Amino acid sequence: MDSWQKEVGVRAGRSGEDLLGWLFRRHSEVFETGHLFDHVETALEDAGVHRKEPRQVEACVFADLSGYTTLTEESGDEVAAQMSLKLAELVNEIASRHRGAVVKMLGDGVHFHFKDPSDAVMASLEIVDRVHPEGLPPAHVGVNAGPMIYDEGGYFGRTVNIAARIASQAGPDQVFVGEDVLRHVTPSGFRLVEVGAFELKGIAEPLMLYEASNDDDDA
C-alpha cells in the first residue's frame, strides 16, 4: 500500500476533532504556499539553488474544487475534511495513471508535477470528469509548462506561479492551459481552443490562455 493510501486510511478513521485539525493545517498551507509562490524563487536563487534543467519541458498543474468555502459554511468543517480526504485519494490515483505526481495537497486543491505536458492535460481533464461521480464539487484546473526550481521535493518558480494564476481564471468544470503548453504539445485525445488574453497577478504581460476538452466532447 502506498504511503498516501495509508494516510487517507488512517485519517478517515480518526475522530471529527482530528479531521478538523487536519483541515485547519491544510488551509494554513494554502496561505503559506501562496506566499512562497511570490517570494521563494528569488530567495532560492540567492541561496545558490538553481533551476532544475529538465530533459524535456515539464508541466505544473493546480486543481481546485469550486464552491468549497460555501460547502464548508453550509455543511460544516468535518464534511469538508472528509471531502479533502476523498480528493486526495482520487488525485493520487489519477496522477499515477498519467505518469505524474502529487507535489502537495492544499485542502480543497492539489499541486501536481508531470514530465510530459500532454499527460498533464489528460490528467486534468480526468479530474474534471471524475469529481462529480465521486460526490465532490466541480473542479477548475490550470496547466502550465516550462522550467522550474526543484528543492527538497517541491517545485517553485515562475512556471509554477503562473499555473496557479491560470487555475484561478478557470471556471467550474474548466481546464485552462497557458500558451507555453501549446508550444510543447501535439494534442492527441484532447483539443485546445483559444479563450483569450488574460492579465494575471504578478505577470507583466497578458497571457494567452486556451481551454482543453476531450476529443469526444461536443464542440
Task: Report d(CA 171, CA 194) in Å as an integer.
Answer: 15
| 190 found inside a domain | yes
* Structural domain span for residue 176: 3-214
**pLDDT (mean) for 123-133:** 96
- C-alpha distance from residue 204 to each of 100, 198, 207 (Å): 30, 11, 9
| 148 found inside a domain | yes
Contact between 96 and 63 under an 8 Å Cβ cutoff? The reply is: no
Q: Which tens digits make up the pLDDT trace of 181-213?
A: 999 998 899 999 999 999 998 888 999 999 999
| 58 found inside a domain | yes
| 77 found inside a domain | yes
Per-residue pLDDT band at 56 (split at 50, 70, 90): low
| 219 found inside a domain | no
What was the pLDDT predicted at 191?
95
Examine the pLDDT at 113 and tell me if it is beyond 70. yes
CB atoms within 10 A of CB 82: 18
Task: Report d(CA 70, CA 10) in Å as an integer.
Answer: 27
Cell, residue 204: 507583466
Paired strand residues for 79: none
Q: What letter would DSSP give residue 137? A: P
What was the pLDDT predicted at 218?
58
| 187 found inside a domain | yes
| 137 found inside a domain | yes
CATH of the domain at 200: 3.30.70.1230
Number of structural domains the chain divides into: 1
